[in-house]
Structure 1
Amino acid sequence: MHHRPTQAKINLSAILSNYQQAVKLAPKAQQLAVIKADAYGHGAVDVAAYLEPHVPAFAVAFIDEALSLRAAGIDKPIVILEGLSGEEELRLAAQYNFWPLLHSNEQLIALTALSPVPDLHCWLKVDTGMHRLGLTPVEAQSWVDKLTRLMQRKPVLASHFSCAEEPDSPISMHQMQQLFALAAHLDCEVSLANSAALTTLPQSAVGWNRPGIMLYGSSPIAGKSAAELGLQVAMTVTSQIMAIRDVLPGETVGYNCRWQADTPSRIATLPIGYADGYPRLINSASEVFLHGQRAKVVGTVSMDMLTIDVTHIPQVQAGDEVELWGENIPVNEVAAHANTIGYELLTRVTQRMQRIYLRD
């Protein structure tokens, strides 16, 4: 039972609608639903259960995330984006139909050293310019032949854009040309397009695409709103006013006296803070939404509480609901005021914030 009025409302039908928008952008390709990091803070099990009838496969970062989904009854194939290491993980992957995205010679040597070699639907990560993980194109070519002989199927060749959110980026074009040339030479399927590339580089959206942030109704493109991209907001974080007080000119609010009233002001306190995932390093331009209006966050965000200036909204009273981000305050806007990105705020929503799931 939850008594605290701070909650994240998760609209599952919006997530499905956003997935369907990804399908519309690349109708001839297949779309993985990326649900790593607890479905970007939205709850991987609930999101996967809702999406499962509609998707060919899921993707997570590492094997523990995949095992949690299997334990919850999720049956569709799951791509492991960071690959696998060690005999136990490789055998578990074969047992549970995980598709490892293998990215190093060490991982591949560990796989081929097993006897018998487990029957795996392997993907290969090719480094085309991100320089984070992946085989060189030359290494990938040699491993494709070995894996095809071992598994009796060709691996999918995957790579990751470093600048997909920038339309017409020459770096992205170079990455795409490298992967596509290699895949054509080896007659392999590809996986390249993420959320941003689905929008900015439709020519990259072939084979297996990997929509992630767009599933949750957040725009992957700077300067483009979610609505402009046909996306619906999936998470709305709300709280309720717990107290209101009048502050005289010259008086300060919160830790370190960071905010001082210039005029007589009304300050409302909300039971949400950085321990819930609302950023402490927010700047003085950040706003919340109540009574159809915006109000500024003032003072330092505390662990469990924050304060807002409601002087201009005289009808405010204790118990009123306040949106921290969602339909009216985009999460990317809040993130920008904390010098970060929406991905970070969504994935930092903590377990003590109650999640309410909305279906249909």
Structure 2
Amino acid sequence: MPRPLCATIHIDSMQHNLDRARTCAPHSKIWAVVKANAYGHGLEHALRGFATADGLALIETDNALRLRQMGWIKPILLLEGIFDVSDVPLLAEHNINSTVHCIEQIRMLEYTQLYRPIDVHLKMNTGMNRLGFQPDEYAAAYKRLRAIPGIRNITHMTHFANADELEHPRLAIAEQVRRFRQGADGLAGERSLSNSGGVLHQAELVGELSNDWVRPGIMLYGGTPGGRTALEYGLRPTMTLRSEVIGIQEILEGDTVGYGSRFEASAPMKVGVVACGYADGYPRHAPHGTPVIVDGVRTALVGRVSMDMMTVDLTAIPNARVGSKVTLWGDGLPIDEVAQAAGTIGYELMCALAQRVRVCEGRLGTNG
């Protein structure tokens, strides 16, 4: 029998969340972001869950080629663009869009003769200060790209730093939009501005934004970019991590649990050992009190998470036994709540899921 730990991927929830993005941005085409192996969900599941998206966006060139091999015929966008001049012919051969965010990438495109026209996304740095041309450099970069014979369409793109907090005191989204307009004024081409936060706040930003394309990521996987809970945004979890109790200990007041003996029982208690640890992608730094669900009852982690196991409080679940079902996140337990307890974000938990964890499919509300 396989180890009882399993990540269930809810294709129906992926489809629901994509529909939610369309509802928020009804006049925009959608790049469904599938980087990091579709946020840990698997590209094969993303192809089914996001089949109606207008395109798929990611950063890994090899996975872009995999998408083509798996039968995806609609557009693909490399969000970080190409990394070497040897990547340029692949863009034309496999009809892949590339982001262009620095002068070095423009030089690569100038250096290579393209036998088939390609489309690019020219990125502007409007305050995120990661990738992109400054607004006052942007028009010159656009002109240089436009002069390359193999460049067909140029889409103007930027990335919001605080789309979950519209009036951020350091960098409001309206200021980034102002800088974007200043840099792209008068330049032909479609626009792509909104990440998940921008999409979810599209109605509030309609006076500020003109999005031909949007680029939802975390919202498609049932996580929140911040500001509100996923449920408040109308999103459904797309990954449920489940395991089972594999051992039980009855301990006394003063007994300790786990490595470092960090947890000490204040009264007699029943402790369950669960088949999941940090080698599976569960956060090692998750503290006592991090929520879990056992046999439908909410309880909490006690002691340190170890490589292959964790320990949970079963004192209030008298019928718990070896084989009791455990939900670590997902259906009934939002991944963002677990992440917040562990001092991280839902994105990290999804992406950290280890290869050794068995993956299956199931509809939300079922055991897969």
With normalisation by structure 1, the TM-score equals 0.94
Please tell me whether residue 103 in structure 1 is matched to residue 104 in structure 2: no
2:240 paired residue number: 236
Contact 1:165 1:220 in 2 (8 A): yes
Residue matched to 2:167? 168
Matched, 1:211 2:226: no
Q: Counterpart amino acid of 1:126?
A: M
- Aligned residue for 1:137? 135
In structure 2, the partner of 1:198 is 199
**1:117 positional shift:** 6.3
Q: Is the 8 A contact 1:180 1:190 kept in 2?
A: no
Q: For residues 237 and 46 of structure 1, what CA distance do their matches in structure 2 show?
A: 16
**Identity over aligned pairs, percent:** 36
Question: Aligned equivalents of 1:85 and 1:47: distance in 2?
Answer: 24
Give the corresponding residue for 1:21: 20
Residues 66-145 of structure 1 aligned to structure 2 (within 5 Å):
66-116=64-114, 119-145=117-143
1:210-289 superposed matches below 5 A: 210-222=215-227, 224-289=228-293
Contact kept, 8 Å, 2:92 with 2:114, in 1: the verdict is no
Task: Note the alpha carbon deviations across 1:26-54, whole angstroms, 9 max, x for none.
Answer: 111111100101111111222124422x1
Task: Give the 3 Å change call, closer, same or farther, for CA 318–94 of structure 1 in structure 2.
Answer: same
| 1:38 alignment partner, SS class | helix
Q: Which of 303, 306, 312 is 1:302 aligned to?
A: 306
Quote the residue 2:30 is aligned against: 31
1:178, distance to aligned residue in structure 2 (A): 1.8
Deviation at 1:292, TM superposition (A): 2.8
Preserved contact between residue 85 and residue 110 of structure 1 (Cα < 8 Å): no
| Partner Cα distance (1:346, 1:156) in 2 | 30
Distance 1:83 1:172 in 2: 24
Q: Give the drift of 1:328.
A: 1.9
Cα distance change of structure 1 residues 263 and 107 upon mapping to structure 2, 3 Å threshold:
same
* From 318, 323, 339, the counterpart of 1:335: 339
CA distance in 1, matches of 2:254, 2:191: 62
Structure 1 counterpart SS, 2:64: helix
Q: Give the counterpart letter for 2:71 in structure 1.
A: G
| Cα distance per residue 1:201-259 (max 9 Å; x no partner) | 5333611100000001112223x221211111111110011111101111111101011
Question: What CA deviation, in whole Å up to 9, does each residue of 1:129-159 have, x standing for no partner?
Answer: 1111111223321232333342463400111
Which deviates more, 112-121 or 254-263?
A: 112-121
Give the deviation of 1:324 after TM superposition.
0.4
TM-superposed CA distance for 1:122, in Å, is: 0.9
Give the C-alpha shift of residue 4 in structure 1.
1.0
Structure 1: distance between partners of 2:224 and 2:341: 16
- Structure ranking higher in helix proportion: 1
User: Take 2:270 and 2:356, find their aligned partners in 1: how far apart are those partners?
Assistant: 28
Q: How far apart in 2 are the matches of 1:90 and 1:43?
A: 26
Task: Provide structure 2 residue ranges, at least 5 long, that are not aligned to the other structure.
Answer: none
CA offset digits 1:285-335 (Å, max 9, x no partner):
201012332111001100000000101110111111110011222111111
Please, what is the CA RMSD of the aligned residues? 1.7
From 35, 57, 66, the equivalent of 1:59 is 57
What is the alpha-carbon distance in structure 1 between the residues aligned to residue 155 and residue 303 of structure 2?
51
Which residue identity lines up with residue 221 of structure 1 in the other structure? Answer: G
1:11 aligned residue: 10
Q: Does the aligned pair in 1 maintain the 2:117–2:152 contact within 8 Å?
A: no
With over 3 angstroms needed to count, the CA separation of the structure-2 counterparts of 1:116 and 1:200, relative to structure 1, is closer
Is the partner of 1:82 in helix, strand or coil?
coil
Q: Which amino acid aligns with 2:275?
A: P
Please report how far the alpha carbon of residue 116 of structure 1 lies from its aligned counterpart in structure 2 after TM superposition: 4.5
Whether the 8 Å CA contact 2:33–2:215 is kept in 1: the answer is yes
Aligned 8 A contact 1:37 1:347 in 2: yes
If the length of structure 2 is used for normalisation, what is the TM-score?
0.92
Distance 1:188 1:138 in 2: 18
